[in-house]
Structure formats: C-alpha cells, structure tokens
Structure 1
Amino acid sequence: MNKSLIEKPAGCSSSILSRCRAAMLIGVSAILGSSSSDAAMNVGQNLDGITYYSSGSVFANSFKACGAWLTSPVAGGAWDTGFGDKGPSTDAAFVMRTDGYPTVVPFTAGGVSQYVHTLAPVYENGTHRLYFTGKGTVKYSGPGVAATTRVLTGGTVTFDVTVTGTNDLAAYNATGPSLRKGPSSWYIDILVSNSTDPVRDIRIMRPGYNTSGRDTFDSDFKTKLGFYHTFRVMDWLRTNNSPYTKFANTNGKDGTGIGKDFYSQGTGRGVSVDHICDLANETAKNIWICVPHAFTNAGMNDMAASFASKIGVGRKVHVEYSNEVWNGMFQQATWVAANVSGANTPQKYGTKAAEVFTAFKTKFDAAGKGSQLNRTLAGQAANSWILDNSLITAGSLTDSIAIAPYFGKVFTSLPSPLPTMDQLATDTYTIMPSVRSWLDSHKTLALSKGKVLLCYEGGQHYVGTGGSENNEALTDLLVDFNRDWRMKNLYRYTYMGDVNSRGVQLFTAFTLSSQWGKWGSWGSMEWLKQPIGPNSYEAGKEWGIRDWKTNNP
C-alpha cells in the first residue's frame, strides 16, 4: 500500500494552547514495512501544556493545574472583571506574593471590591483531600459537591470531600463529532485573605494520593514516560507567544522562574524548572527545553543557571531558542524579524540562538555539566535553506539541527464526497518523491556541517482548514482515522522506519496526550490514562510508536 507523509500548514490552529503549526511535507516509503538502519534512532515525546482542561493529570495535587486567578465583584456580577493574574500585565491593584497567592482579599480595583477565584480539573470520583493554609474565607464546589464555605483561622487544615459524577474521559460527548469528554472542574474562591497570614498552599490531593507530598507526580504518568528517551517541554514552558522578558520572579508576576510552591503550574509562566528537573531526575530521562524569545541576557543566564544547578548528573539537556521562529503565525517570528539585526530572519534567529547557547554553555560548564548540553537549532522540514542560513550565525555553537516531519493531509476545502479510510492513507503518494528530497537535503546539510539530525516534533496530522474544520462529518472522519488500524500501521511499519532511515538520531513525537478535535488529533493518546494497545478503544498511535521501537532497539 502506498503511503505518504506531510507536515501541517502554517496558519492552522490547534486546541492545544491555540497552537499554530507549519506546512511542511515529508514522505514515507511507498512499501509497507520499510526497513530501518542498524542504529535505530532514540524516541522521545513532547508533553502537552498543563491546564485546567488537560486530558490527564501529571500531578497528585490537581490544584497545580488550576487556571490563572480571575476576579469578580464581592457584591456579585461578572464572572471575570479582568483584574486577576495576567502575567506581566497583571493589574497593579492585584498584589501577589512570590508564590502567586494574593497578599490580601478583598482588594479594590476599578473602584469595586474584588475577590479571586479559579478552576482546577477533576479526573476521578472518590475522596479528595483539600488543604488550606492561613487565615481567611474560602469556598469550593465540584462534581457532586455542593458549594461549601469554610472560615480558616490559621495553620493548615484539611477537608475530605467525596466527588461523584465526574466526567469519564473515555466517554464521548452527547452531541457533535465523536470526541471525548474533557475533565470536570473544581471551583475555588478566596473570598477573604488576611494580609498578615494570607490564604496559601491550596492543595487538592486526588484519590490514592490523599497523604502524598504536595509535589508528587502521578505514578501512571511517570510509568508512561519510562518508555521514552527524552521529553520535550516546549508546551510545559508555554514557549509560543510568551510575553515574558525575564526569568527572575521577584513579585509573583513578571518572571517565568516560579517555584514548586507557586499556586499553579498552569499559567502563562509555564512549569517550574524544579518540577521539570525533578521529573527528569526521578525517571532518569533527558529533557528538551525552549527559551522564551524575548528573554534578556539576564533572563537567559538565570534560566541557564537554574537548569544547570538542578538537572542530575548524566541527564542530557537539549536547549532550543523559542519554537518555530520561521513560522509567521507565532509572535516570536515577528519579534525576531523586528528586533534582531541580520540579512534575513533565519540568520537573525541564529544570532539569538547563539546568545542562548552561549549563556547555557557558560552556566553548564561552571556546574561541571557542559558535556550534558546539546545546543539545538530548529528549522522547517520543507525548506533546508532556513537552517542553512541559521547556521551561518550560530553554526560554531550548534551541536544539532532539528525539523518536524509531520505526515497526513490538510483539507483546505471540504471534499465531496468525503474520502475513505484507504484514500486517506494513500492519496498523498504523488508528493513523495519531492518530499523525500527535502528529508535528504537536511541529512546532507547535517553531514556537511558536522551536526546531528533530530526531530523536535513529528507524527500524523490530518485536519481541515479554511472553514472545512467546522464540518462535523470531516472532523468525525479524521479523528476516526486516527483511531483506525491503518494509522497504527502507518507508524509502526512505515513512518518511524522512514524517518530512522534518514539518519535521525532522536525523534520526538508530538504529543503524548491531548484531546482530539477539529484543530487536529495531536495526542498519541486521547487522555493520559487511556490503555495502550492495538484495539479500537486503545491508544493505537502510542502503541504503534512503541511497537516500532521495541522491534528496533
């Protein structure tokens, strides 16, 4: 059976943090079961951003995934008056501690007395243990849990709460395309917080973890990561369109360098370096990190020093400047074009990447971990000219180059009739010769420059754009194709072997787990606890990746 692979077109949207991806084509072998080289590539995974609507919990404490603070009038009214935690642009009236909790509630903003509130995900029924520290008044509610107000008199108190009727992530929505349900929600309000002993350290410990430490990772999540060589945390770090210029977080608002005690790991600051390094150290895995595009030199140095001091000995750290700076749909592309000197945008990107590489090499060398650093320059798979130019300004400091070889089909208009499953698997065959030449050109570039070739992302992408994404029948077809046996076989018999045969040393799939929908079916799993296997109800793409690697160690 003839197969083909393509990358996503620039301008497409995604339900994952409103991501946009780029159009790039890459081809696979026309013969099912293409052979791999003797030295099989390592396989990694991207991790989906942490939010209150994520498809699974990576923490035992689900409050770590709560949304950014919202504000509402004490007297009642609007759900969000807009004075809450908005990162660097947070209203001056909303004063935050370095752990992100408000210094006092209520506070006055816009001439109105305001309180703060947020949502946190609920993933299972059973007994959840809620922790609160400080003095004030809080209110909580959730699935099967009526709104409950508690007056806190100081110290740490706990409340055991039984959740019933939470969403089953394996179940489908009642109407519309055959999409899975998202998590249910906790609603947490801080109505009063004492300025001398403010409400803080809120925890919602999930069933089975009631007595676990605040920072414990979900055991199933760690087990799933155990298969992989490297995990990339571009989305964990909220890299795309980041508004931050510094790492130091001295006022709770302005920097990305939050601690594990910060109220949420699900805000625009991203996940704490401490958590990322803890996960790498506990699982004995390598990491791939991305540095926000507008960071000052101080921001780069501070971030580099933090990772250098906290990553364990022997753990490889791939460092990349921002993400897809060549993709004009991201703010980092326009920022680099406007703020960096150079002959063209790829060379400007190389200049900024070189600054990041210098900062990280200096800090890692000082920590005695210089050999653990891999400085990675990323480009567009369809156009090796981009990386060729980026290497002009960053080549001497670069260890590896990376591309994102997606495969699939992009429907820019609604086809009539809709294609069959077989047609979806075969109808891009005509572009394969030119696509293979693109892959070969990056292999040639890497060899000619003495660099290692990696994939920062990759996998399938079947999607509608230009309005066709709103057609429910097309969405149904494409998500069902992602569950189909043909997709499993594209991964295990064709795609993985084809990428491997072109000299790629590390393939980092995108992404481990996320909900599927009209913007794409990104996740290898539809929810984090989905069983992995070849059956229709199991995570077939994840199984296909694992099956290939198991047979190509």
Structure 2
Amino acid sequence: MIVRLCPALLFCLLFVSPLLAAEPAAKSKASLGMNLAGPVDWNTELPFVDVFRQSRPWVSQQQGSPWGQGPELALDEHGWVKSLESGCWAESPLCTIQGGHYPSGDFTVLYDGKGKLDFSGAAEVTSEEPGRLTLNVDAGRGGFSLQIRETDKSDYLRNIRVIMPGHVETYEQEPWNPAFLKLWRGVACLRFMDFMHTNDSTISTWAERPTMEDATWSQHGVPLEAMVDLVNRLECDAWFCMPHKADDDYVRRFAAQTKEKLDPQRKVYIEYSNEVWNGQFQQNRYAAEQGQKLGFADKAWEAAWYYTAYRSVEIFQIWQKEFGRQRLVRVLPSQAANPYVAQQILNFRDAAKQADALAIAPYLSMNLSPTGKPSSEEVASWTVDRLLDHAEQHSLPECTKWMEENHQLAAKHKLQLLAYEGGQHFVGVGGGESNEELTKLLHAANSNPRLGEIYAKYFAAWEANGGGIFCYFSSVGSWSKWGSWGALQSLDEDPADSPKYQAIAAWAQKLGQPIGE
C-alpha cells in the first residue's frame, strides 16, 4: 500500500490560500460511496470466487537458483506461459493472507491445455483428471502457490481458474463473492481507482488494457467489463479514473463500451488519474512534463495543476460525445488542504465551466514523523484516549476547515463538492512508520468505539458543508505500519467488531442507504 501523505505536509502548502468570498451553494445530497481494494494476492477483500483473478504475476524459478531468479518466461499476449526451459518452472502465489482469513476446504482448479500443475504451501491435491484438480486448502497455514512444472508448447496450459469451495457450478454466472456483494449492497457509487491500478499506471493504449482473458488482473487491473458488471449487480454508480498516459482512442473506446454495457439508470463519474497534484506518484511527474512542454508553466507543480485541468477537459469532451451528457459527472480533483490548488485547476482556461464537480480528500489526518509536532516518538507514548482527543480537538476542526473552504470555492463555480477519498488518516511517515509502539497505538485507535463517535461528527461536518457523494477509503484491507485503511481488515471479520464500519453503515442508513442491513 502506498502511504497517502497528508496534503497539509506537501509542498503546495507554501502558497497562501485566500479567503473565498462566495455565497454558499444549496447543500448537495450526501451519500456514501466506496473505494475498493486493488487486485493482488494478499487482498483480504476477496471479491472474486476465482482467486486466480488476483494471483501474482508469474515468478520464474530455476532449479539450484535463488527464489525468483529463473530465466525470462515466454508469455502469450494474455500472460499465459507458452513454454518452459529445462529445469525451470513458473510459479504464482495465491491467497497470501495470514490468520486464516480466506476460505478453507476443497478448491477446484480448472484449466485448458496440456501440462503438469503442482502446488505448495497450504494446498494439497486430492484428486486429478485432465483439465481439473481438487485442492484441499487449510487457510490457517497461510497462502499457497500454483506451479506450472510442464507445459505442451503446442497446447500450453492456460485459462487457469482456482474456484473457492461451493462455487464451481455457478462461478461463470456468479463470478463475485456473495459475501463481498452483501457487504456493500446499497452503496451509492464504487470508485475504481485501486481496482484499475491507477497510481503509476503504464497503460497508454486500448491494446494495453486488462481483458477478461488475462492470466491475472493483479498486473494491470480489473477489466472494464467486470467493473461494469459489478455496478450493474449492485445497482450503484461507477467512478472511473482514466490512466494518466491514456490516449484519446483509449478514452473513446472506454466510454463507448461503458455506454454499451452499463445499466441505463446508472451514472458515471470521470476523473483524470488520481491525485495528479501529489508528487509521490508518477502521474504528477508526467503531468508536470506535459504541462511544461505545452508552455503552461515553468514550475513543475504549476504545470501539473494546469495539465490536470487541460487533460481533464479533453477527456470530458470525449466522454460527452461517446457516452452522452445526461448520466456523466465530470470531476475536477484537487488537494483538500490547499484550496489554492483548486483555484488554479478550476480557473485554467475556464475548466470549471466544463465540469460538474470539485473533488477532494478531506481526511481526518494525523501524519506522524520523527521531526513532526507532535513527533511520532511522543505520540507513541500516548494512551488511545489521548490520541483520539487529539483527533477530535485538532484533526477534526482542521479537516472541517478544508471542507468549508472547498465548499465555498465549489459554490463560487457552481460545482458540486465531492470526496474522492476520506476517512481516518492515522499513520507514521518519514520514518515514523517504523516505530512499532506507534503502529500498535494507531491500530488500537482504529479499533476503539470512540473513533465511531468521532466519525459521526466527521460525516455531519461533511453534510453541513454541502458535501455530496463521499467515497470512503477504503473497503476491506489488512492493517500494517503503512496505515489502517480498511473499514474491515478482512471479509470474514464480524462488522459488529469494527467501530469504523459501524459508523460508516450508520451514516449511510441515515441517508437512506441500506448498508449493513
């Protein structure tokens, strides 16, 4: 997980944000959206009944060599292994989840082609026939690996599926884990930023997009077809992040295919990449270079802001032509802590006049470093109550101010105010993440019922400041020194044990969304 540094700590705050003298706009109707976790082998959200969908890309192994040091693998256009050199094999780790937080029991492995599969770790083969294996998996032993030991060059192993217990008869018609669907049924919108592996994406053309035939979706993200199928099933809207390098043809085809497959009652939120203003991502450097080439600004950060506006409008225009205007929400994103950034993006070439919304990430922030005030070392000695006092007395007023300022700015431009991300942001940074006592404290705070009470005030502040859809970050994910982002740590966690989830669900229910019911 890439650490999300508090916007207040980034260089942009060198600019002074002027007071915004706009009359408040009418309040938008608030609603709960959700950011989903990205497809990787350690994903504890487990959205697919075919766990091979989030398997790790093939690791080349060679007898007598260190792990992962085999020769380059011969792969087809979808990532399937076409041939193996003598003494070599290809390996893919699956369900590398500790604590038994994925199903145990009999998994069914289906495949096309001829060759030999083997398994290591928590899985043992109990039956085998051409094209089909049964694995007995003990999740308490950790994850397991699938290995291609032999493959026929003329009919190589491909279309491998590893189906959870109880789903082999239905996985084609029902590819989504029922527990995953149940968790977020009633959500207003799903933001697919991590589902699409948006940060640092290498995709530039339609030919490079992920497809339903790919060996794994952990490399380039989940295909559009699957994302549209998910929102159709959940009867919610979709929030797509266009890759920062995507050319016009990619955008055009993405929009056209969405129109073809999306339920006509559903809306689409369109955003250019993710946090292009944020210097820790490649999309920021790319936008800065493009903006400088176009002569928008000499300073890299300004060039990135202006290119965000420029490219966003180009993308909006393509979507309007291919998808239509009625169900499209055109989103200009900015940095919550510094409305000056939003001013630059909204004003550049009148971008605001060609958009519908300003989106920010008003995190309840506490980013703790060895040199910060308070320092990570000092905070590590606090009690949970003292930390939550700080969150309530400092972090909450701070992010409420961000909401107020950005609402005023959105109102000035007659735009909705949305949250592309939000939630608690208690994390060590700049070396603070290596303080084990601090990590324990932050995890304890995320498990404390009082955080749910603070969340209630946090969401009330969002409503009071005219906020519309609020895409919480994030759905399900294990906690670590890099942050406690998941509302739940695993799909099998009892929601009643998570104050964060309970507060999120209670707010959604108050808004008329049946989350958790």
Q: How many residues align?
A: 473
5 Å matches for 1:304-343?
304-340=255-291, 341=294, 342-343=296-297
CA distance in 1, matches of 2:214, 2:438: 42
Structure 1 residue 270 corresponds to structure 2 residue 221? yes
Q: 2:138 aligns with which of 151, 155, 164?
A: 164
SS at match of 1:427: helix
Q: 1:119 aligns with which of 85, 93, 104?
A: 93
The aligned amino acid for 1:375 is R
Contact map agreement 1:22 1:327 (CA 8 A) in 2: no
5 Å matches for 1:66-81?
66-73=55-62, 75-81=63-69
Contact map agreement 1:136 1:193 (CA 8 A) in 2: yes
CA distance in 1, matches of 2:262, 2:406: 31
Q: 1:222 aligns with which of 177, 181, 191?
A: 181
Kindly provide the CA deviation profile for residues 473-524 of structure 1, in whole angstroms up to 9, marking residues without a partner as x: 11111101100011111112x1111111100110110000111111110011
The RMSD of aligned alpha carbons is 2.3
CA distance in 2, matches of 1:430, 1:212: 51
CA distance in 2, matches of 1:326, 1:210: 45
Contact map agreement 1:409 1:424 (CA 8 A) in 2: no
CA distance in 2, matches of 1:434, 1:186: 45
CA 1:56–1:431: 2 relative to 1, 3 Å: closer
Q: CA deviation at 1:348?
A: 1.5
Q: CA deviation at 1:39?
A: 6.7
Counterpart position of 1:261: 213
Contact map agreement 1:106 1:115 (CA 8 A) in 2: yes
Point out where structure 2 has 5 or more consecutive residues left out of the alignment: 10-25, 97-101, 371-376, 513-517
Counterpart position of 2:23: none
CA distance in 1, matches of 2:60, 2:408: 55
The aligned amino acid for 1:236 is F
CA distance in 1, matches of 2:143, 2:199: 26
Point out where structure 1 has 5 or more consecutive residues left out of the alignment: 1-15, 26-36, 85-92, 168-183, 249-254
Counterpart position of 1:400: 357
Contact map agreement 2:3 2:482 (CA 8 A) in 1: no
The aligned amino acid for 1:141 is S
Kindly provide the CA deviation profile for residues 45-92 of structure 1, in whole angstroms up to 9, marking residues without a partner as x: 10011110011311111111101112122x4423223765xxxxxxxx
SS at match of 1:521: coil
Counterpart position of 1:204: 162
CA distance in 1, matches of 2:161, 2:112: 9
Identity %: 27
The aligned amino acid for 2:110 is Y
Kindly provide the CA deviation profile for residues 405-438 of structure 1, in whole angstroms up to 9, marking residues without a partner as x: 1114222121167122222122252576665443
Structure 1 residue 140 corresponds to structure 2 residue 98? no
CA distance in 2, matches of 1:203, 1:309: 27
CA distance in 1, matches of 2:380, 2:213: 54
Q: CA deviation at 1:315?
A: 1.1
Contact map agreement 2:445 2:451 (CA 8 A) in 1: yes
Structure 1 residue 105 corresponds to structure 2 residue 78? no
Counterpart position of 1:518: 481
CA 1:416–1:552: 2 relative to 1, 3 Å: closer
Contact map agreement 1:105 1:116 (CA 8 A) in 2: no
CA 1:128–1:434: 2 relative to 1, 3 Å: closer
Q: 2:74 aligns with which of 83, 94, 104?
A: 94
CA distance in 1, matches of 2:315, 2:71: 34
Q: 1:415 aligns with which of 354, 378, 390?
A: 378
Contact map agreement 2:364 2:395 (CA 8 A) in 1: no
Contact map agreement 2:251 2:315 (CA 8 A) in 1: yes
CA distance in 2, matches of 1:83, 1:499: 53
Contact map agreement 2:362 2:399 (CA 8 A) in 1: no
5 Å matches for 1:383-398?
383-391=338-346, 392-393=348-349, 394-398=351-355
Contact map agreement 2:243 2:272 (CA 8 A) in 1: yes
CA distance in 2, matches of 1:113, 1:504: 60
Counterpart position of 2:307: 348
Counterpart position of 1:375: 330
Counterpart position of 1:20: 4
Counterpart position of 1:501: 464
CA 1:39–1:396: 2 relative to 1, 3 Å: closer
What is the TM-score with the length of structure 1 in the denominator? 0.81
CA distance in 1, matches of 2:3, 2:248: 27
CA 1:543–1:191: 2 relative to 1, 3 Å: same
Kindly provide the CA deviation profile for residues 518-539 of structure 1, in whole angstroms up to 9, marking residues without a partner as x: 1110011111221112xxxx12
CA 1:416–1:159: 2 relative to 1, 3 Å: closer
Kindly provide the CA deviation profile for residues 249-289 of structure 1, in whole angstroms up to 9, marking residues without a partner as x: xxxxxx12x2223211211x100111100101111111111
SS at match of 1:166: helix
Structure 1 residue 243 corresponds to structure 2 residue 217? no
Structure 1 residue 550 corresponds to structure 2 residue 509? yes
The aligned amino acid for 1:379 is S
CA 1:145–1:284: 2 relative to 1, 3 Å: same
The aligned amino acid for 1:55 is T
SS at match of 1:444: helix
Counterpart position of 2:14: none
Q: CA deviation at 1:19?
A: 4.3
Q: 1:442 aligns with which of 382, 402, 406?
A: 406
CA distance in 1, matches of 2:318, 2:213: 27
Contact map agreement 1:138 1:149 (CA 8 A) in 2: no
CA distance in 2, matches of 1:278, 1:489: 35
CA distance in 2, matches of 1:67, 1:149: 25
Q: 2:110 aligns with which of 131, 147, 172?
A: 131
CA 1:457–1:283: 2 relative to 1, 3 Å: same
CA 1:417–1:549: 2 relative to 1, 3 Å: closer
CA 1:187–1:144: 2 relative to 1, 3 Å: closer
Q: CA deviation at 1:209?
A: 1.1
The aligned amino acid for 1:449 is H
Contact map agreement 1:105 1:114 (CA 8 A) in 2: no
Contact map agreement 1:245 1:296 (CA 8 A) in 2: yes
CA 1:416–1:164: 2 relative to 1, 3 Å: closer
What is the TM-score with the length of structure 2 in the denominator? 0.86
Q: CA deviation at 1:114?
A: 4.5
CA distance in 2, matches of 1:435, 1:47: 23
CA distance in 2, matches of 1:224, 1:530: 11
Kindly provide the CA deviation profile for residues 187-246 of structure 1, in whole angstroms up to 9, marking residues without a partner as x: 112222223322111111111213222461000101112031111110000000112211
The aligned amino acid for 2:403 is L
